[in-house]
Amino acid sequence: MGIFWLILCCLSLATASPESQEHESSNNGTAQLKVYHVRGKGSSLVQNSTWSLSDVLLHDEEHVKALTKRLKKKHVKSPSGSRPKLGHLVKPSSASIPLNPGRSIGSGNYYVKLGLGSPPKFNSMIIDTGSSLSWVQCQPCVVSCYPQVDPLFDPKASTSYKKLSCDSPECSSLKSATLNDPKCTNAGSCLYTASYGDSSVSIGYLSQDSLTLSPSQSLPSFTYGCGQYNEGLFGRASGIVGLARDKLSMITQVSTKYGASFTYCLPTATSGSSGGGFLSIGTVSPSSYKFTPMLKNSQNPSLYFLRLATINVGGQPLRLSPSDYSVPTFIDSGTVITRLPMSMYSVLRDAFVKIMSTKYAKAPAFSILDACFKGNLKTITAVPEISMIFQGGAGLPLGAHNSLIEAENGVTCLAFSNSSGIAIIGNHQQQTFSIAYDVSNSRIGFAPGGCH
């Protein structure tokens, strides 16, 4: 029996006979559920609290491969007819939530603390603009949960929790949100599968509960996944917050009150909770940003695509043709290191190394980073600016903290790598910029010095 069908069997039994979960079998011979609290296999990021760049880069590489594979899949539209019901926020205006670097929880990504349930229990959840469905690890962890920094969410302790049925419009929208078909338990509960192509996965009950953004702002009927089998490269976060453009994403669910817009500033990875990072949901102030059109890709319309027009190194444009810049390009908070197709990356790397090598000694490659120098960010100060300019003139002028990353003691590398046919603007290059996703007006804005 395949692992998924074993999980489905366990979840079906759990739904059908919750009162019998203390026993493996009953007197009449009917199989009952044994509840497991098992550590997921995952990576060292899952199994301990140590932050390791080599682990982060390995995870990042698998994440990029998964995104590349997704772009080759045919997009599945949500079914017509009944639509998921969108919740309404109890309080008006916008909400701003502190956003923290994930090193403290063993991740190369960023997390917020969101409340689930009534009364709310707060969970450390990674923000991901490349995912739509949000999910959190839930008791009783019927199959497996990995270690996390917060107590596991207990749906039984929430007076507003409910499982969604297989005939709900939200269940019908799962294929579009996750690219995986929903399944049904014997009792008719809807099961989701959020798979990330790198062996990371969350499977559980599609659910609704109250979402608390701030002490005065909550969403009574937030749709998310209550994970009963969770394994993979999530650090010690409680789950994922999906910020992509699908119907089931958090942004779409709160858009009835705030509108379909959000802004964030990712602080430097080493700043901890004092970096001034934030996730703000609500109206974007146009005067603060330079905008580029937000594009759609028919293969995966939920991702945030844009058009890269020019890359400058040290004030000089790279010798690239217009066709080199025509590759699918999107911005993703869940990718750490920016990826460029080899035809672009090799030109960028060579131009950068040519300038840097006149002042700093070269060092051996580190993992996927192949342009490294002896020294750290404090001693390597004369760094040529890399400027990524998008259609319409908006851009990211990258300082040393955006273009370089300390690989190990005494070794610092260019924080770019190559990919297969796509370009991804990663979160290392986004650090300290305020980035606005104005979905309503199909544009993405950039402003320097955004964290406060």
Are 424 and 67 within 8 A, CB to CB? Answer: yes
Q: Is 332 a catalytic residue?
A: yes
Token code pair at residue 328: 């699918």
Out of 150, 209, 332, 438, the active site residue is 332
Residue 128: active-site member? yes
**Torsion (CA) 22, 26, 31, 35 in degrees, nearest 10:** 10
Question: How far apart are the two ends of the chain, measured CA to CA in Å?
Answer: 53
Residues 6 or more apart whose CB falls under 8 angstroms from that of 65 comprise 197, 198
Q: On the CB side of 14, how many CA atoms lie within 13 Å of its CA?
A: 23
421: left (phi over 0), alpha (psi -120 to 50) or beta: left
Q: Please, which residues bridge with residue 203 across strands? A: 193, 229
With 0-12 / 13-18 / 19 or more C-beta atoms within 10 angstroms meaning exposed / middle / buried, residue 443 is buried
Q: Which of 55, 60, 128, 246 is catalytic?
A: 128
Q: How crowded is residue 2: how many other Cβ atoms within 10 Å of its Cβ? A: 7
Cβ-contact 46, 232 below 8 angstroms: yes
- CA-based nearest residue to 86, from 209, 256, 262: 256
- List, by residue number, the catalytic residues: 128, 332
